Chains A and B, each alone.
Chain A
Amino acid sequence: MLQARHKTGLVFFPAFDWAISSTHPEREERLLYTQDQVFEEGLLDVDGIIEYKPGLATIQDIRRVHFCVPDEWRVVTESHLISAGGAKTIGIQVLDKKVERGFALVRPPGHHAMRVVHGARGFCNINIEAVMIEYLREAYGVDRVAIVDTDCHHGDGTQDIYWHDPDTLFISLHQDGRTLYPGSGFDNEIGGPTALGATVNIPLPPRTSEEGFLYVLDEVVLPLLEEFKPELVVNSAGQDNHYSDPITNMCFSAQGYAELTRRLKPDIAVLEGGYSIETALPYVNVGIIMAMAGLDFRGVREPDYNPGRTKQAVDLTRYIERLVENLHDRRRRIPEWREQIIGSQDYAEREMRIYYDTDNISEVRKEELRVCADCPGTLGIDSRADNGYHVYGVHIPRKACKACQELGYQWFDSADSKRYSHVFLQDRTCDQYLVRKD
């Protein structure tokens, strides 16, 4: 009889009746073989692995994280509420100490969803990890959270949401943005002025294998976590670094994913991408579940696994070593940069062009942040999409100082309603969300 060493909660929600479109990678069939494998291996019968039915995320949960344009119902479906709700369910079980760890094996994914949402990009509408984390902060008073994104694509949505939050460490390991969607996540992206260093990007070259991933984990990720001392480690467990994934170019394996999970010891893992639905996902998910539960996963292997074929080239190993060195160098200089910025400027601006590939929407976004010495600073976002919406959103951070709170309301009240179709205010100091529209 198998006994989990770590009591592990599992939400399995394959959404067998939901797809972006019938031949889209994000379709009904995606977790079918994973379900078959997980069921057949009998993992749900293991003593200490408990399956939970996902709850539904609420509109209020979404409003802690996003400005949905024009409103939540226009950009989410029930499936998104269940997917985010599944992550939330796992979070609740972990925080209630019903389980030691948990894995939300849910779809659709969320890590490309940014703070402003005009539609779907990278198959994501709402950021399911952020919805969960902000709920846990509100309900359980969790403060410091680390997110380790091991999806092959840069978690640009999560990065955007936590860009200005020094209490959320966001680390993304992904295939180099020069070679893959969404084309971001370079190592010079290290967070906003008031949260420098809380964003860490590790762009790995195509064909990185177990060796490279585990090297980066040991050399960069684990030391960063040690230093940051998060109360909660969340793993955005995308599975598209697999050697068989059809839309990426990496060489990771089920064994590698399981070993990474064993070393990372996430409190909560949330499934993100991964589209090799038949040859990777069944084995990767079994590996991750077993690693979370502390079971011996040495026998987990893809039927076509051939370590010789995915072995990492020597020059690639050198490249990754240099990358790690550069990351370390950069980190050493962060305190100095922080000092230069804070106090020297009152406001910082950022302009971005966002393309929603799934829904074919283009957005121009202008951000203004109050560079505050006392708090992460209030953020104003002007967002214009080519589908006609032009909105303004104000985000008052959880730990905003008095001045920043007042500034936030001032920005909200004074936003020109002739210019904007909607004006939003997200006041995280008191969990309030206001909308003004004509």
Chain B
Amino acid sequence: MIIGLDVGGTHTDVVLIGDGCIQRQVKVPTDPSNLFDSVWTGLDEVTRDINPERLQRIVLSTTLTTNLLVERKFNEPGMIVSSGPGVDAESFRTGPHYFVVSGSINHRGSEIQTIDETEIEAISAKLKAEGIRQVGVVGKFSTRNPIHETQICEILGDDFDYKARGHRFSGNLNFPRRIATAYLNAAIYPTHKRFYEAVRDSLRQKGLEIPIYVLKGDGGTMSLEASLDNPGQTMLSGPAASVMGALPFSSEHRETLVLDIGGTTTDMAILIGHAPLLDPLGIELHGTKTLIRALKTRSIGLGGDSAVRVEGTGISIGPDRAGSAMAYGGAVPTPTDALFVLGKMTEGDAEAARRGILSIAVPLGLKAEEAAALVFDMACRIILDEAAQMVEEINGQPVYTVHELLEGHQVRPAEVLVLGGPAPYFAFRLAALTDFQVHVVPQWHVANAIGAALARCTSEVTVFADTERGLCISPEADFRQAVPRDFDMPQAVEVAYRLLWARHAREGGSEAEADVEVVEESEFTMVRDFYMSGRNIRVKVQVKPGLIPEYRSIAGTLFKSCPMPGGG
């Protein structure tokens, strides 16, 4: 049996899955000031009287790291950044303990300037004196040659708990994002570690010695142990959990828009067949751009509880939430109240909802039902417009070859999967307003926890070979090997897969569940003085986000219990 747990803003959902169906589901309120209690209460309840031997694994998705960053509740880590010429590295200052040091590597990975040992020693002493225990070490082009990051870390020695080396997080080229990524990882490291070790220890005390996995923002999982080295990957696992929960119900040969309509926001994602679309660069969180892998999502300030107001001769919805819907004791009308007036929802204070909707209907000279229909339709249209914009943005992403520009794949979703609180009501209306096939995700209220439970391990490895320099390296894998002049693309792909499997196994994946693919491959003939001098090869491979094989039987059972849209 597998446990999936997803901590949301208001509720923590837990499911126990086994024998092809949901054995138990638990919903406990989330206490943002004590996430551990929320997680523990959920786990405690869902595992009550369960034979520990039947539990295969637990997958956790929490808002822990996201909250830490949003609230900036962490001790400032130290940052040591070697940049060399180019954009002033001071522009990327993360905080007070940010040091730009000597050392420079060029785009080919050649050392242009060495690091200055005494400079690092002085900084190290300073950081220690300040009581700093986590430090990020980042070099420009360290993904092409991590030598400076490695040397700096050696000088720093064992006096720090955690040294976030930029090149380990991603093979992508983007120095400012690499700095931000190392910083975030270093910042959240101690809390993340404390939290998950506490969960592990508590489970052990309860006699549950089972593998614990953590959900990542790319919809994949990693072992708890692997997450300690790379805690940043747990960011934005919440939206990913919902998308993964919708995955079993998408068409294999079509493109799907997933809408998670919550109280405050609607989150959107795209599925291509059974695989979610990833963000090409990485998570962007509150203006901080990172290299942390994530699903391509768009979040808008529109949900069931968004504030509805009269604006001129029309209305506005959101982007803020002013408490709950009036039907549930709130003070400002919301789309949920409109659903009450339209008779779609009944379990609440329908009179209060009507009062709320009337407060906007009267100034507009409308009947309550008309105003409610207006609010509801407008909410649907805003969601559809934003989704169209998201698709347009994806299709407008620059490409760099003639072939891709002329023949490149264009995303054209043909169906919509809706989940979240008001999912069934919205699904009906969205279907009426568009040509999309619209479905409600079965068990939509716990789809996020199901998604976490069924997600499989993901990994990514980048390989870069330069046969003129006779080198093949992989930053994420800390791999460096001399290669002969005739080293070519097939060999590079082979190396990449070998490193990927190793990383995958190290991070808790199993070979059986892995679906690997080459994400990027490009090969350039290098010409110097009119003669071929070498090959420049770039390969990126990944274990795709997806679901463990067991999902098929579970999806089958869930389908049978699928609530009809508009029901309930």
Quick check: B402 and A40 within 8 Å, CB to CB? no
Scoring B86, B289, B403, B522 by chain A CB atoms within 10 A of each residue's CB, the highest score goes to B86
Which residues of B sit under 8 angstroms from A41, Cβ to Cβ?
86-87, 175-176
From B86, B177, B522, B530, give the contact of A286 (CB < 8 A). Answer: B86
Quick check: B524 and A82 within 8 Å, CB to CB? no
Query: A-facing mask of B509-525, CB < 8 A → 1, else 0?
Result: 00000000000001011
B542 within 8 Å of A by Cβ?
no
From A12, A23, A29, give the contact of B524 (CB < 8 A). Answer: A29
A33 within 8 Å of B by Cβ?
yes
Which residues of B sit under 8 angstroms from A282, Cβ to Cβ?
107
A246 to B85, CA, bound (A): 23
- Smallest beta-carbon distance A279→chain B, Å: 9
Which residues of B sit under 8 angstroms from A382, Cβ to Cβ?
none
Name the residue of chain A whose CB is nearest to the CB of B104. A303
Which residues of A sit under 8 angstroms from B176, Cβ to Cβ?
2, 41-42, 45
Quick check: B112 and A53 within 8 Å, CB to CB? no
Quick check: B174 and A23 within 8 Å, CB to CB? no
Quick check: B289 and A303 within 8 Å, CB to CB? no
Name the residue of chain A whose CB is nearest to the CB of B83. A299
From B87, B108, B112, B140, give the contact of A295 (CB < 8 A). Answer: B87
Stretch at the interface among A14-22, A307-315, A407-415: A14-22
Query: A-facing mask of B525-546, CB < 8 A → 1, else 0?
Result: 1110111100010000000000
A93 within 8 Å of B by Cβ?
no
From A27, A40, A53, give the contact of B140 (CB < 8 A). Answer: A40
A27 to B324, CA, bound (A): 61
Query: B-facing mask of A77-88, CB < 8 A → 1, else 0?
Result: 111001000000
Quick check: B401 and A16 within 8 Å, CB to CB? yes
A16 to B525, CA, bound (A): 11
Quick check: B402 and A42 within 8 Å, CB to CB? no
Quick check: B87 and A42 within 8 Å, CB to CB? yes
Quick check: A296 and B536 within 8 Å, CB to CB? no
Query: A-facing mask of B72-87, CB < 8 A → 1, else 0?
Result: 0000000000001111
Name the residue of chain B whose CB is nearest to the CB of A43. B87
- Smallest beta-carbon distance B114→chain A, Å: 13
Name the residue of chain B whose CB is nearest to the CB of A53. B398
Quick check: B86 and A300 within 8 Å, CB to CB? yes
- Smallest beta-carbon distance A385→chain B, Å: 27
- Taking CB atoms and an 8 Å cut-off, the chain B residues in 104-159 that contact chain A are 104, 106-108, 112, 140-141
Which residues of A sit under 8 angstroms from B107, Cβ to Cβ?
33, 36-37, 40, 278, 282
A430 within 8 Å of B by Cβ?
no
Quick check: B287 and A303 within 8 Å, CB to CB? no
From B85, B87, B140, B527, give the contact of A23 (CB < 8 A). Answer: B527
Quick check: B86 and A12 within 8 Å, CB to CB? no
Scoring B396, B401, B402, B532 by chain A CB atoms within 10 A of each residue's CB, the highest score goes to B402
A401 within 8 Å of B by Cβ?
no
- Taking CB atoms and an 8 Å cut-off, the chain B residues in 387-405 that contact chain A are 396-403, 405
Name the residue of chain B whose CB is nearest to the CB of A297. B87
B26 within 8 Å of A by Cβ?
no
Q: A53-B396, A295-B87, A299-B85 are in contact. Are A32 and B174 (CB under 8 A)?
A: no
Name the residue of chain A whose CB is nearest to the CB of B406. A78
A1 within 8 Å of B by Cβ?
yes
Query: B-facing mask of A37-80, CB < 8 A → 1, else 0?
Result: 10111110100000111101000000000000000000001110
- Smallest beta-carbon distance A13→chain B, Å: 7
B173 within 8 Å of A by Cβ?
yes
A286 to B107, CA, bound (A): 13
Which residues of A sit under 8 angstroms from B106, Cβ to Cβ?
303
A28 within 8 Å of B by Cβ?
yes
Which residues of A sit under 8 angstroms from B522, Cβ to Cβ?
16
Name the residue of chain A whose CB is nearest to the CB of B107. A36
Name the residue of chain B whose CB is nearest to the CB of A40. B173
Which residues of B sit under 8 angstroms from A23, Cβ to Cβ?
525, 527, 530-532
From B92, B112, B403, B405, give the contact of A303 (CB < 8 A). Answer: B112
B88 within 8 Å of A by Cβ?
yes
B91 within 8 Å of A by Cβ?
yes
From A1, A28, A290, give the contact of B287 (CB < 8 A). Answer: A1
Quick check: A40 and B524 within 8 Å, CB to CB? no
A286 to B289, CA, bound (A): 20
A365 within 8 Å of B by Cβ?
no
- Taking CB atoms and an 8 Å cut-off, the chain A residues in 322-355 that contact chain B are none
Which residues of A sit under 8 angstroms from B401, Cβ to Cβ?
15-18
A299 to B84, CA, bound (A): 8
Quick check: A29 and B527 within 8 Å, CB to CB? yes
Which residues of A sit under 8 angstroms from B172, Cβ to Cβ?
39
Name the residue of chain A whose CB is nearest to the CB of B397. A53
Name the residue of chain A whose CB is nearest to the CB of B141. A40
Quick check: A22 and B527 within 8 Å, CB to CB? yes
Which residues of A sit under 8 angstroms from B92, Cβ to Cβ?
42
A208 to B388, CA, bound (A): 53
Which residues of B sit under 8 angstroms from A301, Cβ to Cβ?
85-86
Quick check: B405 and A52 within 8 Å, CB to CB? no
Quick check: B405 and A54 within 8 Å, CB to CB? yes
From B112, B175, B530, B532, give the contact of A40 (CB < 8 A). Answer: B175
A23 to B530, CA, bound (A): 6
A298 to B85, CA, bound (A): 9
Quick check: A42 and B175 within 8 Å, CB to CB? yes
A18 to B401, CA, bound (A): 8
Which residues of B sit under 8 angstroms from A362, Cβ to Cβ?
none
Quick check: B402 and A32 within 8 Å, CB to CB? no
Q: A33-B107, A40-B140, A299-B88 are in contact. Are A17 and B527 (CB under 8 A)?
A: no
A41 to B91, CA, bound (A): 11
20 A-B pairs with C-beta separation under 8 A: A1-B91, A22-B525, A23-B531, A28-B524, A29-B524, A29-B525, A37-B86, A41-B86, A41-B176, A42-B175, A42-B176, A43-B87, A52-B396, A82-B405, A290-B87, A298-B88, A299-B88, A300-B87, A302-B85, A303-B104
Listed in ascending order, the chain A residues whose CB lies under 8 Å from chain B are 1-2, 11-18, 22-23, 27-29, 32-33, 35-37, 39-43, 45, 51-54, 56, 77-79, 82, 246, 278, 282-283, 286, 290, 295-296, 298-303
Contacts A32-B524, A42-B87, A45-B174 known; list 17 others, CB within 8 Å.
A1-B287, A12-B398, A16-B522, A23-B525, A37-B107, A39-B174, A40-B107, A40-B175, A42-B92, A78-B402, A78-B405, A79-B402, A295-B87, A296-B88, A303-B85, A303-B104, A303-B112
In the complex, the 10 A-B pairs of residues with the closest C-beta atoms, listed nearest first: A42-B176, A301-B85, A39-B173, A40-B173, A36-B107, A17-B401, A303-B112, A29-B524, A53-B398, A16-B401
Listed in ascending order, the chain B residues whose CB lies under 8 Å from chain A are 84-88, 91-92, 104, 106-108, 112, 140-141, 172-177, 287, 289, 396-403, 405-406, 522, 524-527, 529-532, 536
